[in-house]
Homo-oligomer: A and B are copies of this chain.
């Protein structure tokens, strides 16, 4: 019997690495989509490539979103990445308009075209930046829309959007991935890394990552430039 196929959205961070490990553990043959969208932390692409090698993913594509589609503190040179922000409150300036919607749509098109039955995305709604496109109700709505808008969906064999981390804390994600043998030294999280790839330690993404390793009781392999 052929191995069932899935598409994973791979950013190079902890969450997508863990989602990939879970998909592999569940027996899927993976294709990975990696996106270059003008992010200042494009060093994460190198992390995604390391993870593709680590997981031995044969089918992978780097997709470039043209400059000017997104406007965000993560992409615009004129806007700084917020630091030392307390969690909660408003949607932060690092929000990238419709990013998960666009990435999932690519995954859906590719999945239906290539016969994959599931899409794995490492979104979490626990230790996260408050982005609307990381919430369970968004993923439910995306699933419904995908089922109505694709041939696979209307034939009752809709492509499943899988969010295995949605209810896990960052520590829970790190523990789950560690059990599955994920090498987190290959991952990158910082929104505003130094030229040598070291992490700033104070953006939302660094703060959430640090706290996650601490709470998980797992040694943090990140190279921080402020420590």
User: Which of A144, A149, A153 has most chain B Cβ within 10 Å?
Assistant: A149
Contacts of A80 in B (CB 8 A): none
Interface window among A22-30, A105-113, A170-178: A105-113
Interface check A185, CB cutoff 8 A: no
Most buried by B among A70, A108, A133: A133
Partner of A138, one of B95, B109, B148: B148
Asked if A91 contacts B145 (CB within 8 A), the reply is: no
Q: Does A100 contact B (CB under 8 A)?
A: yes
| Given known A71-B113, A145-B144, contact A151–B95 (CB-CB < 8 A) | yes
Which among A39-47, A61-69, A211-219 touches the partner chain?
A61-69
- Could you tell me if B132 and A138 are in contact, using CB atoms closer than 8 angstroms? no
Question: Which single member of B97, B133, B149 contacts A132 (CB below 8 Å)?
Answer: B149
**Residue tally, chain A, CB below 8 Å to B:** 45
A residues neighboring B (CB under 8 Å) = 61, 63-66, 68-72, 91, 95-102, 104-106, 108-110, 112-114, 132-133, 135, 137-138, 141-142, 144-146, 148-154
By the criterion CB–CB under 8 Å, are B148 and A141 in contact? yes
Partner of A133 from B66, B142, B150 at Cβ < 8 Å: B150
Given A68-B110, A98-B146, A102-B106, 5 additional A-B pairs, CB 8 A: A91-B151, A97-B108, A101-B108, A132-B154, A142-B149
> Are A151 and B132 touching (Cβ within 8 A)?
yes
Q: A91-B154, A132-B153 are in contact. Are A101 and B145 (CB under 8 A)?
A: yes
- Interface-central residue, A104, A105, A144, by most chain B CB under 10 Å: A105
Residue of B nearest to A98 (CB): B109
